[in-house]
Structure 1
Amino acid sequence: MNKQFLILIIILSLSYNAFSQKDSDSLRIKYRPVHPQDVKFKFGLLSGGPTKTKKLSLRLSGFVRLIATLDFGNVQNTSDFITSMIPIYPIPKEEEIRTSFDARQSRFAFEGVYQVTPTNKLLIYMETDFFGSEPALDYKLHLRHAYAQYGSWLLGYSWSTAANIDATPNQVDFEGANSVISPKNAQIRYNLLREKYSFAISLESHLGDYTPYVGINDITDFQSSPDLISYIQTQGDWGNIRLTGILTGISYTDSANIDVDHMIGWGVSFSGHSKVFSRDKISDEFYWGFTYGEGIAYYISDISGLGYNAMPDSNGVMNTLPAFAGYLAYKHAWNEKFESNIIASYLKLESDAIKDKTILKETVYLAANLMYTPIDRVNFGIEFLYGKNVNQKQDFGEAYRIQLMSVFNF
């Protein structure tokens, strides 16, 4: 327990003397994180921003996104390239070449801004897509964001505070690198933003995401306490560097299937991005993210939802599982219309508590793409993907994919 709380104490103490200027809406807008695949509100319809005579502004925006995919066998997902799902012992039908066209990533977003005082705004934001299930022809509406933000407070459903969205490279692949911290949670977040530094702390809902005892099927669908997440960050026009701490409570059904027991997971993440080789109106960019912890599989893209936060060992004792995840990425801007991104990512899950040697041990993810923006509202891309899934026995499966993308913003 002392180790877990020490992580957050260090982050809180580092932030104590970093903030002496006044927070402002202009800073929040300047450093508002936007995922490369999120809706960009530089486009939009309906009314403009608040003015002295008009306190309310409304905007509707979104895009139509089509993905064409060619799989060279062993990939079992349509638009998501999930390395942990690559078959290690494939049957013949899983090795067949597959093609698909998928528009489920198309989305629309609504933003309302109310000018409460001359210096404070209330922002309400909602965003949806149609990626509610795996089948490529099943277009179920899916909530991506729903939150309100006033001053330093955010309440609602959005990217977890643990996710450094600005440190995410631009990709065609909807899933992204296997090691990225990527969940969205319902949360209450306090964010203190300064010109050169920022600090945030949040309480967030989460899934237990553990492997239950044999014969017990009712994985606890509630958690006794919210997750506590905090970060300290330095940022500027050059990029950002962030240190994040995660404390998560895991409530699980005991081996007798009578009571609920509790344990604590913890994690530390170091991430950021930095512009390099700036010239004219373009620059290259370097991205990185490294995460280590125990009981935080839910927060790591490739193993979230697989029950790897914790599992019982050979003695019947529930243990949190240690995980390491890291990625490096580089963006090269060829000119104002073309850019390329290369991504290398690695994840490892290893513990004496793992009895089943067919369970995942590590995954590897590699990607390279070329992105083209012929005009302001239109984007095209082509991306090559490679994935490797290795189990505890060191057996592995590999997969290759090529994806084409078109995006039309409105």
Structure 2
Amino acid sequence: MRWFSLFVLSVSTCLSINAQERFFTLTSKDSIGQAPKFKSSLGVNMKLNGYFDVFGGLQDSDTFNVGKINVFGSDDSNSLNVDLYQTQIKWETTLVMPNGKQIKAIVESDFWGGNGRLRLRKAYVETDHWQIGQNWNNFGDEDLWPNIMEWEGPPSGIWLRNPHIKYMNSFGSPKWKYEVSVEAPQDDYFAYEDIQPFVEDTHQTTPDFTFAVTYKRQWGHLRASSILRHINYKLEGNKDYFMGYGLTLSGIYKPNKNSFQYQVVGGKGISSYLTTISGFGYDGYPEDNNMFKATPAFGGWMAYEYFWSEKWHTNAVFGMTSFSLTDSSRYVLTDSLDLTEIAGDFGHNQYYGILNVMYDAYERMVIGLEVDYGIKQLDIEGGANNNLYLNDTFQRDALRLSFGFMFFF
């Protein structure tokens, strides 16, 4: 009964004193310094996700993933879908040690596991200098996210969550922070067997390594991060490896409620980290000489949020991604062209733009309406199996209207 009374007291306190606290918060009676020795909260970020596809062939995609546009398709039928799978449940606990240092633990899930099934998003423990578990990958910038209804984000965004061990510290100044992490290996170069039938899945033996430096001020921050990868592969029964590496520059400028965010990324063998092509099998590819090569990729995005009033605000986002395969021996299936396989050069360009308006109806509720537009372009130059030489560009765009609301408690 004592714990129940304490729980009720804590809930009523957070409602009357701090509107940003979770409704369900449990704190211990004793404290260390100015903080309770133990604090735990359960919160829900509820989101209704609605989208109407005007044209472009993304009717089967829950998110506005420009990489999924079929440039050879012709289905421009309308499609309306509504779900709440993006709703998140978060359990957070903080324990204050006798020396005043804190240990924080977080477990967060959503319903994005397919047909509304629960999926793990985050599960980690963090101290002053260490973070162990699953959280945002250190190659990206977890403080960035454009305020949009669509849930995919710009095509070159880095929002991968994977298990890792991360060490954090400063250079003797609170303005600076550096982070070094050992990340669970990622690979998806074998994703499509019909595209690359001679590539076989093989075990990875080396983690991905990252290093990042952040400069923080009241107006926002600047961040530079890097990654180094060792990726094993098996081509026609022979095992070998290739190296991947990348660099990102990112930041946010927020002198008041209005804010500007950006991120630029480039490297080789990092496609599995870029949101719109992650899982598409472009980390590496075999050249004509049967040697595996890391795929070069680069991109960037920027977002600006402007508050017209206390409750009305608008977001504009633009992003692009580009990657290319030179002297590739890969297969490309294009039924509409009656071609089975092509070897040669391939260029991929993806463009993404968003404009929305949001209304903060209540203290914890946001309602939004958004226009999403994207273009996917494929440049092909090479020879096909039917002795046809192809040098052409295939392009298709997509238009979606996103709408919904978010409620936090």
TM-score for the superposition, normalised by structure 2: 0.83
- For 1:395, the equivalent position in structure 2 comes to 394
Question: Which among 320, 329, 332 is matched to residue 306 of structure 2?
Answer: 332
CA shift at 1:308, angstroms?
0.6
Which moves more between the two structures, 371-380 or 206-215? 206-215
Q: Does the 8 Å CA contact 2:285/2:325 hold for their aligned counterparts?
A: no
- For 2:58, the equivalent position in structure 1 comes to 75
Alignment of 1:291 with 2:265, yes or no, is yes
SS in 1 for 2:243: strand
Alignment of 1:84 with 2:67, yes or no, is yes
Letter in 2 for 1:63: N
- In the aligned structure 2, how far is the partner of 1:113 from the partner of 1:396? 51
Q: Does the 8 Å CA contact 1:41/1:61 hold for their aligned counterparts?
A: no
Alpha-carbon deviations, 1:89-132, whole Å to 9, x = none?
A: 114xx321000001100121101111123421111100000001
Question: Which among 146, 167, 171 is matched to residue 148 of structure 2?
Answer: 171
CA shift at 1:218, angstroms?
3.8
Q: Does the 8 Å CA contact 1:78/1:100 hold for their aligned counterparts?
A: no
Alpha-carbon deviations, 1:342-366, whole Å to 9, x = none?
A: 0111110113143457766110000
CA shift at 1:392, angstroms?
2.2
- In the aligned structure 1, how far is the partner of 2:119 from the partner of 2:326? 38
- For 2:112, the equivalent position in structure 1 comes to 131
- In the aligned structure 2, how far is the partner of 1:41 from the partner of 1:145? 21
Alignment RMSD: 2.0
Letter in 2 for 1:370: V
What 5-or-longer segments of structure 2 have no aligned partner? 1-18, 335-345, 381-392
- For 1:361, the equivalent position in structure 2 comes to 348
Measured at CA, do residues 156 and 274 of structure 1 come closer, stay the same or move farther in structure 2, by a change above 3 Å?
A: same
CA shift at 1:166, angstroms?
2.0
Q: Does the 8 Å CA contact 1:205/1:227 hold for their aligned counterparts?
A: yes
Of structures 1 and 2, the one with the larger relative CO (CA 8 A, separation 6+) is 1
Measured at CA, do residues 210 and 228 of structure 1 come closer, stay the same or move farther in structure 2, by a change above 3 Å?
A: same
Alignment of 1:268 with 2:257, yes or no, is no
SS in 2 for 1:111: strand
- For 1:313, the equivalent position in structure 2 comes to 287
Letter in 2 for 1:148: V
- For 1:104, the equivalent position in structure 2 comes to 85
Alpha-carbon deviations, 1:131-183, whole Å to 9, x = none?
A: 012xxxx1111000000112210000010011112232111111111111111
SS in 2 for 1:189: strand
- In the aligned structure 2, how far is the partner of 1:126 from the partner of 1:44? 17
SS in 2 for 1:398: strand
Question: Which among 349, 357, 361 is matched to residue 374 of structure 1?
Answer: 361
Alpha-carbon deviations, 1:51-96, whole Å to 9, x = none?
A: 52752221100122111111012214443100010111114xx321
Question: Which among 47, 59, 63 is matched to residue 41 of structure 2?
Answer: 59
CA shift at 1:48, angstroms?
3.5
Measured at CA, do residues 176 and 49 of structure 1 come closer, stay the same or move farther in structure 2, by a change above 3 Å?
A: farther
Letter in 2 for 1:228: F
SS in 1 for 2:85: coil
Letter in 1 for 2:46: V
SS in 2 for 1:66: strand
Alpha-carbon deviations, 1:280-308, whole Å to 9, x = none?
A: xxx32111111110000011111111111
- In the aligned structure 1, how far is the partner of 2:58 from the partner of 2:100? 51
- In the aligned structure 1, how far is the partner of 2:205 from the partner of 2:23? 41
- In the aligned structure 1, how far is the partner of 2:93 from the partner of 2:310? 31
Alignment of structure 1 residues 140-219 onto 2, 5 Å: 140-193=117-170, 194-211=173-190, 214-216=196-198, 218-219=200-201
- In the aligned structure 1, how far is the partner of 2:324 from the partner of 2:28? 51
- For 1:385, the equivalent position in structure 2 comes to 372
CA shift at 1:214, angstroms?
4.8
- In the aligned structure 2, how far is the partner of 1:147 from the partner of 1:321? 32
Letter in 2 for 1:336: E
SS in 2 for 1:117: coil
Equivalenced residue count is 357
- For 1:346, the equivalent position in structure 2 comes to 320
CA shift at 1:50, angstroms?
7.9
SS in 2 for 1:351: strand
- In the aligned structure 2, how far is the partner of 1:382 from the partner of 1:247? 40
- For 1:32, the equivalent position in structure 2 comes to none
Measured at CA, do residues 41 and 217 of structure 1 come closer, stay the same or move farther in structure 2, by a change above 3 Å?
A: farther
TM-score for the superposition, normalised by structure 1: 0.82
% identical aligned pairs: 25
Q: Does the 8 Å CA contact 2:214/2:223 hold for their aligned counterparts?
A: yes
- In the aligned structure 2, how far is the partner of 1:371 from the partner of 1:48? 34
CA shift at 1:339, angstroms?
1.3
- For 1:248, the equivalent position in structure 2 comes to 229
